[in-house]
Amino acid sequence: MELIWGDAPLRWQEVVAVAREGAQLQLSSAAWQRINNARQIVDNIVVSGKIAYGINTGLGALCNITLSDDQLSQLSRNTLLSHACGVGPLLSDEQARAIICAAIANYSHGKSGISAPVVSALLALLNHQITPNIPSQGSVGYLTHMAHVGLALIGVGNVSYRGQQVSALEALQAEGLTPCPLGAKEGLSLVNGTPCMTGLCCLALDDASRMLDWADVTGAMSFEALRGQADAFDAEILALKASDGIQRVGQRLRQLIAGSAIIAESHGVRTQDALSLRSIPQIHGACRDQFDHAERQIVTELNAATDNPLVLGTPDTWRVVSQANPHGESVAMAADLLAMALAEIGSVAERRIDRLINPLVSGLPAFLVAQPGVNSGMMIAQYVAASLCGENRQLAQPAVLDNFVTSALQEDHLSLGTSSALKLLKLAANLYQILAIEYLLAAQALDFHGAEKAGQGTRQAWQKLRAQVATWQEDRWLAPEIAKAVAVIKTQRVE
């Protein structure tokens, strides 16, 4: 599969296709023309000797130091070396690739002043599966992560290549590539902007969209297994709240339990269900509404020019403008908001999990095994879900509020958007596990009712799981079964 960017607005799904699925990426001829136009402006400025921030000056708090022509290439190289000081565990290959994708999207606007050979070299990293080693910690929103990407371009540092960790120079040579020389402004352009947070958030949107769908499925299975009262999903009732998310969830729930003999037989057994059951449309729907908002913010940033300075105009009539487009406030807020929404999805799922294993409210055997006592069944799976929910509450604390001062007071308000994105991805990984546990337990509970009596959609979901995980008769190693349930959620869909 090959994607060509540069002639239409980008979608986060395209970033995912390249980063996670290995799609090849190219830029359109119009994008190359824009890139070359901006580069010509930079070259003209260097020749003219006119002062322009980031082109022939120092960076950040050193912006008032003017540099000679013979220092500009060295400045670009030094910028990468000095800024590549990240620490901590490495990002995954897909995370590094998503960041590179977002950087290329930024450069495709032709407002950066970076040269076509450098952008081509970034494309080559993606298309030849050469993935820079990027430490995960050290960014206040930008700079360190992309600096490590830039190192790979000049043949410095290590990369992931053909399943091994090798030097960047070795990987480039194996693919017939050479280190990329850098000119004026290119070091700054390589570390600037918001590709770190934006690329990572595109991956988080992919995870979130999948889990919001599956949360409806596992929630419907639990609702059915706990003999919920379907009046809570009545279309007329839900329409009284003008929320797109609530209407969508309500419709999906009705479809999932359609034709359920279990629901029909349970009608009237109680006047009111617990909130974790009857408020699934309201809770999941609210989270979907927050997803929609976050998606708009992240896609807006993905299609933005986020360098500082920006290079505008033509080679004859140009402006180089120092501004604050690299400030990722909107993405940081979006990631923090989506983190809260996903944490809530996990929180209410854990409450349903607890009800499934509790015979006082479930009407089912304790811990969902036929012989409790000699068997512990699903008892400790609920502990795991509770632990993950506790961790998610910590991860859902907003990072955007954690402000610090950097660069000798020059950068005195920071978004921490990359931190927001990284904790969002970690929270999403936890949510996969929570939903997988609910999936396992709800399927086991349906077995006690007779899964053949389940609804149209819930029965389909039960069948997908049972193709991988057998019904519990007695205790067996549970951890691999949770992993199998996660794999189903990550690779399959239920309509």
Q: Using DSSP, state whether 165 is helix, strand or coil.
A: strand
Whole-angstrom Cα distance, residue 135 to residue 145?
A: 7
Backbone phi and psi for residue 27, each to the nearest 5 degrees, phi listed first:
-110, 150
pLDDT for position 61: 60
pLDDT tens sequence for the chain (495 residues): 999 999 999 999 999 999 999 999 999 999 999 999 999 999 998 888 888 887 887 666 666 677 677 788 888 999 999 999 999 999 999 999 999 999 999 999 999 999 999 999 999 999 999 999 999 998 887 889 999 999 999 999 999 999 999 999 999 999 999 999 999 999 999 998 899 999 999 999 999 999 999 999 999 999 999 999 999 999 999 999 999 999 999 999 999 999 999 999 999 999 999 999 999 999 999 999 999 999 999 999 999 999 999 999 999 999 999 888 988 899 999 999 999 999 999 999 999 999 999 999 999 998 888 877 788 889 999 999 999 999 999 999 998 888 777 766 667 677 788 999 999 999 999 999 999 999 999 999 999 999 999 999 999 999 999 999 999 888 899 999 999 999 999 999 877
Backbone phi and psi for residue 194, each to the nearest 5 degrees, phi listed first:
-120, 30
Question: Which tokens hold the place of 440?
Answer: 């396992």
Give 348's Cβ-side CA count (13 Å radius): 27
Per residue, the 3-state secondary structure of 328-382, as one string, reads: CHHHHHHHHHHHHHHHHHHHHHHHHHHHHHCHHHHCCCHHHCCCECCECCCHHHH
**β-bridge mates for residue 159, sequence order:** 132, 166
Whole-angstrom Cα distance, residue 237 to residue 243?
A: 12
Residues near 233 by beta carbon (within 8 Å), at least 6 away in sequence: 250, 253, 254, 257, 280, 281
Whole-angstrom Cα distance, residue 426 to residue 399?
A: 14
User: Which pTM value belongs to this model?
Assistant: 0.95
- End-to-end, the C-alpha distance of the chain in Å comes to 26
* 313 dihedral zone (left: phi>0; alpha: psi -120 to 50; beta): left
In this chain, the answer to whether the domains covering 2-192 and 201-491 adopt an identical fold is no
Whole-angstrom Cα distance, residue 119 to residue 281?
A: 46
Count of residues for the chain?
Answer: 495
Cis peptide upstream of residue 326 (ω within 30 degrees of 0)? no
Beta-strand relationship, 2-5 and 24-27: parallel
Question: Which tokens hold the place of 273?
Answer: 């269900």
Amino acid at 17: A
Whole-angstrom Cα distance, residue 68 to residue 270?
A: 81
pLDDT for position 407: 67
pLDDT for position 374: 83
Could you tell me which CATH number the domain at 201-491 has?
Answer: 1.20.200.10
- In this structure, CATH architecture of domain 2-192: Orthogonal Bundle (1.10)
C-beta separation of 79 from 187 below 8 A = yes
Domain boundaries, the chain: 2-192, 201-491
Sign of CA dihedral 358, 362, 367, 373: positive
Closest CA to 262 of 466, 450, 36: 450
Q: Using DSSP, state whether 323 is helix, strand or coil.
A: coil
Please calculate the CA angle 110-112-116 and round it to the nearest 5 degrees: 65
DSSP string, 64-110: T-B--HHHHHHHHHHHHHHH---EEEEPPHHHHHHHHHHHHHHHTTS
